[in-house]
Amino acid sequence: MEKIEATNFIEQIINDDIDQGKVTEIQTRFPPEPNGYLHIGHVKSMLVNFGTAKKYGGKCNLFFDDTNPSKEKTEFVDAIRKDIEWIGYNWAKEVYASDFFEVIYNYAEQLIQDGKAFVCDLSPEEISATRGTLTEAGKESPYRNRSVEENLQLFREMRAGKYPDGSKCLRAKIDMASPNMNMRDPVIYRILRSTHHRTGDTWCIYPMYDYAHPICDYMQGVTHSLCTLEFEDHRPLYDWVGINLGFAPKPRQIEFARLAITNTVMSKRYLKKLVEEGHVHGWDDPRMPTVTGLRNRGVPPEALVDFCTKIGVVKANSECQLSYLEACIRDNLNENAERAMAVLEPLKVTLTNYFGTEELETAIHPLKPELGTRKLSFSSVVYIDKSDFSLNPPPKYQRLKMDGYVRLKNAYIIHCDEVVTDENGEVTELKCSVVENSRSANDTSGIKVKGTIQWVDGATGVDAEIRRYSYLLNDAEYVGQDFGERMNLDSEHIFCGKAEPYLSEVENGVPFQLMRVGYYKKTTDEQGKLVLSEIVSLKDNFNKKGERQ
Ligand code: ATP
Ligand code: MG
């Protein structure tokens, strides 16, 4: 196996291991617990696990860490598989911690035989009360010195279901005075009557994560067990298990920083709260940072991989700006999304000197002339966006005003002759005239206009529900850390807009740049009505607090 040019500290460590002849093939694993949906933090973990193995020509397994039967479900297993495939990674093998329950059990008997584990009758409360503190040693369990024979018998009886839940556990015999709390005779097996999503009721004892994980890694031939920083303090226990069970070669655990992003949460616990309290429509709500939410939003998977690649793999935790993720999405869509026109708040414009209809032409993608053009119909009524007309324009206003000119994108220059208002003074219609010889690409009118705005043809345009999103959470830096206080209760805005008919003809799911509006995904609702939902704004128009400006 060849070394590669290291781009981060993990690759540096792997290169050193290759130099020292410690490894001949790289094996990693992506280890989700099937207790919820994957989020964008997991994409980073995928990149680290699948990506690193791939770079070295090695393999990465999909490893379901299912040692916690009460929270795990097959529904999540299926969703996780789908999400990984969508991101674009392939796993070598699909493996479950539960595949190894028998092996893990046998290793526990081995620890008992070697005098390195004991059955403890203290309750969970008593165990935590005797653990000591960071400055004070813990107290040894009165059951610590049971004989090997007694321990073996009790442990077998635990497995056979002789004892109630929580009445006994198996603990590793390490050091109650260790400065590392995880090494103070940690519990490695508990009694728990809970139906497991794969092994059913076969087991009433389940291994703890810290004990099971190194065994599962070893059984899979994992060379480098890559995980997030919160496991750093658990590494001595990871190594203790490997050393005391005689693993050779012993897998090596390396920790990297978790991905954290402003204006959002990544923790499953909080995401669940958002779903359960009805702040979002579900796990796949387009505002959610879940992989299923991002997919539903129309974010291209390549943009997520690009983002995780660019932020890199480092050893220190930090928070990344959401605007940086958005920039990656925007770069991708600018390149790949076709252009089209829609208005959020339609304002009727009657062109008093224009009669009949006409087919204009527009580029399918301005950056890709090779894609050619498509037709755009034009007639005597068009809709522009309300925000593109002002009755009391500020100085230097470049869009449409009374007695002013503006260019309709890919069409004509128009002049506003008359403003129609209702009894409240609201503008309801504009009467304009088309400037002669001002057609785009063929303009000999001699009139210079500063503003160009998008429009929708009145004769052929279709009604569209346009959904625009703000961030789910305000930024912690400005409003304190509390999750409840940070919630933005007004993050979905629905407009009854209009769009050119082309948008209702294309396939569902296609992303578009709606000119001057943003990047949107096309879908239809149950009634077949056109729905356009925001993927990302055209430019970064959120302030530092995360409010839309
Ligand atoms: P959560 O805190 O959201 O519940 P988790 O850590 O419990 O996440 P797991 O299913 O255990 O989720 O995670 C699978 C892998 O993904 C683990 O190796 C974990 O370290 C990694 N991971 C989880 N969140 C992040 C993140 N924000 N950034 C990078 N890696 C992450
Ligand atoms: Mg976890």
Tell me which residues are annotated as active site.
33, 258, 268
Angle at 66 between CA 65 and CA 72, to 5 degrees: 125
Kindly give the distance from the C-alpha atom of residue 43 to the centroid of ligand 2, in angstroms, as a whole number.
14
Ligand 1 in reach of 266 Cβ (< 6 A) = yes
Residue 382 pLDDT exceeds 90: yes
Kindly give the distance from the C-alpha atom of residue 319 to the centroid of ligand 1, in angstroms, as a whole number.
15
Ligand 1 in reach of 79 Cβ (< 6 A) = no
Counting from 1 in the atom list of ligand 1, the atom nearest the Cα of 258 is: 28
Ligand 1 in reach of 258 Cβ (< 6 A) = yes
Counting from 1 in the atom list of ligand 1, the atom nearest the Cα of 228 is: 20
Kindly give the distance from the C-alpha atom of residue 267 to the centroid of ligand 2, in angstroms, as a whole number.
9
Side chain identity at residue 109, one-letter code: E
Ligand 1 in reach of 523 Cβ (< 6 A) = no
Kindly give the distance from the C-alpha atom of residue 147 to the centroid of ligand 1, in angstroms, as a whole number.
39
Q: What is the pLDDT of residue 547?
A: 67
Rounded-to-integer distance, Cα 282 and Cα 304, Å:
21
b/e per residue, 7-45, with b = 16+ CB within 10 A?
eeebbeebbebbeeeebeebbbbbbbbbebbbbbbbbbb
CATH of domain 340-459: 2.40.240.10
Residue nearest to atom 29 of ligand 1 (CA): 258
Nearest to 188 by CA among 166, 177, 172: 172
Rounded-to-integer distance, Cα 416 and Cα 260, Å:
50
In this structure, which topology does domain 9-256 adopt according to CATH?
A: Rossmann fold (3.40.50)
Kindly give the distance from the C-alpha atom of residue 212 to the centroid of ligand 2, in angstroms, as a whole number.
13
Q: What is the pLDDT of residue 479?
A: 62
Give the pLDDT band (50/70/90) at residue 480. low
Kindly give the distance from the C-alpha atom of residue 33 to the centroid of ligand 2, in angstroms, as a whole number.
6
Contact 511, 519 (CB under 8 A): yes
Ligand 1 in reach of 3 Cβ (< 6 A) = no
Test site for ligand 1: of 30, 43, 45, 71, most ligand atoms within 8 A of the Cβ: 45
Helix or strand (DSSP H, E) at 421: strand 413-421
Kindly give the distance from the C-alpha atom of residue 444 to the centroid of ligand 2, in angstroms, as a whole number.
66
Rounded-to-integer distance, Cα 408 and Cα 434, Å:
10
Ligand 1 in reach of 313 Cβ (< 6 A) = no
Rounded-to-integer distance, Cα 336 and Cα 205, Å:
53
* pLDDT average, residue stretch 129-142: 96
Ligand with minimal distance to 39 CA: 1
Counting from 1 in the atom list of ligand 1, the atom nearest the Cα of 266 is: 3
Residue nearest to atom 9 of ligand 1 (CA): 32
Peptide bond into 249 cis (omega under 30): yes
pTM of the predicted protein model: 0.92
Residue 34 pLDDT exceeds 90: yes
* Residue-averaged pLDDT of the chain: 95
In this structure, which topology does domain 268-336+464-536 adopt according to CATH?
A: Glutamyl-tRNA Synthetase; domain 2 (1.10.1160)
Could you report the per-residue pLDDT of 247-260, keeping only the tens digit for each?
Answer: 999 999 999 999 99
Please state, as a whole number, how many other Cβ atoms lie within 10 Å of the Cβ of residue 165.
Answer: 12
Could you report the per-residue pLDDT of 46-55, keeping only the tens digit for each?
Answer: 999 999 999 9
Please state, as a whole number, how many other Cβ atoms lie within 10 Å of the Cβ of residue 529.
Answer: 13
Ligand 1 in reach of 250 Cβ (< 6 A) = no
Ligand 1 in reach of 41 Cβ (< 6 A) = yes
Ligand 1 in reach of 228 Cβ (< 6 A) = yes
Counting from 1 in the atom list of ligand 1, the atom nearest the Cα of 230 is: 20
Kindly give the distance from the C-alpha atom of residue 146 to the centroid of ligand 1, in angstroms, as a whole number.
38
Residue nearest to atom 13 of ligand 1 (CA): 32
Ligand 1 in reach of 409 Cβ (< 6 A) = no
Could you report the per-residue pLDDT of 71-128, keeping only the tens digit for each?
Answer: 888 999 999 999 999 999 999 999 999 999 999 999 999 999 999 999 999 999 999 9
Residue 388 pLDDT exceeds 90: yes
Residue nearest to atom 18 of ligand 1 (CA): 227
Q: What is the pLDDT of residue 534?
A: 98
Domain boundaries, the chain: 9-256, 268-336+464-536, 340-459
Kindly give the distance from the C-alpha atom of residue 62 to the centroid of ligand 1, in angstroms, as a whole number.
14
Ligand with minimal distance to 38 CA: 1
Q: What is the pLDDT of residue 261?
A: 93
Rounded-to-integer distance, Cα 176 and Cα 475, Å:
42
* pLDDT average, residue stretch 294-320: 94
Test site for ligand 1: of 29, 35, 42, 62, most ligand atoms within 8 A of the Cβ: 42
Could you report the per-residue pLDDT of 410-422, keeping only the tens digit for each?
Answer: 999 999 999 999 9
Give the pLDDT band (50/70/90) at residue 542. low
